[in-house]
Structure 1
């Protein structure tokens, strides 16, 4: 008998992090645009694994008081961008670095995990 893999739970509302962003409107004013990201334990396993691998390396260097290799920081930023653009296309074009940082922190809090951590329910 063949095992049927269950559908991902990433699309269930309780497993998503939603946020709004004021974006420029055609009339010169701003309008609210809603975005949604799966909580971190529900993102693509490949991307999550790469993010965790880099996050663990960065955390270890920081705990030892060592300087984090800029190439490692670039790799982490590229993975983050890939992840966010997969689930919220166009977001990077609309936000500044401080806004992105605020979104990332709120997303981590909503997911109850950090970027270098794993969730037991996700593994």
Structure 2
């Protein structure tokens, strides 16, 4: 018998986190933490700070949008809200949230 890997559920709306950029009517979506691609998870886990993690996440799903952030406070707020929307606290690493 051959095991079939199940289809990803990352695109299901309930597994997505939505956000808007200042002055933009468009709604953007990124997967919640537990639904991001494993290759991106590895990249993000290797990073030591939230700024790099936000950059990697946004560049992967919405190339160029990270350049629209004007301050580190926006990056920090984005990361905190995304982490909370994903069900983790900002003090946790992604690895510890999976255990």
Q: Which has the higher strand share?
A: 1
Residue 87 of structure 1 and its aligned partner are, at CA, apart by 1.3
Q: Which residue of 1 aligns with 2:56?
A: 82
Whether contact under 8 Å (1:47, 1:79) holds in the other structure is no
Whole-angstrom distance in 2 between the partners of 1:107 and 1:79: 11
User: Alpha-carbon deviations, 1:8-51, whole Å to 9, x = none?
Assistant: 1110111111011233xxxxxxx422111100111111221343
The number of equivalent residue pairs is 95
Scaled by the length of structure 1, what TM-score is found?
A: 0.63
Any unmatched runs of 5+ in structure 2? none
Greater RCO (CA < 8 Å, at least 6 residues apart): 1
Whole-angstrom distance in 1 between the partners of 2:54 and 2:17: 15
Whether contact under 8 Å (1:17, 1:37) holds in the other structure is yes
Whether contact under 8 Å (2:19, 2:27) holds in the other structure is yes
Whole-angstrom distance in 1 between the partners of 2:69 and 2:51: 15
The yes-or-no answer on 1:47 pairing with 2:24 is no
Any unmatched runs of 5+ in structure 1? 24-30, 55-71
Whether contact under 8 Å (2:54, 2:75) holds in the other structure is no
The yes-or-no answer on 1:117 pairing with 2:94 is yes
Q: Which residue of 2 aligns with 1:58?
A: none
Whole-angstrom distance in 2 between the partners of 1:110 and 1:99: 16
User: Alpha-carbon deviations, 1:89-121, whole Å to 9, x = none?
Assistant: 22212112222221111000000124613344x
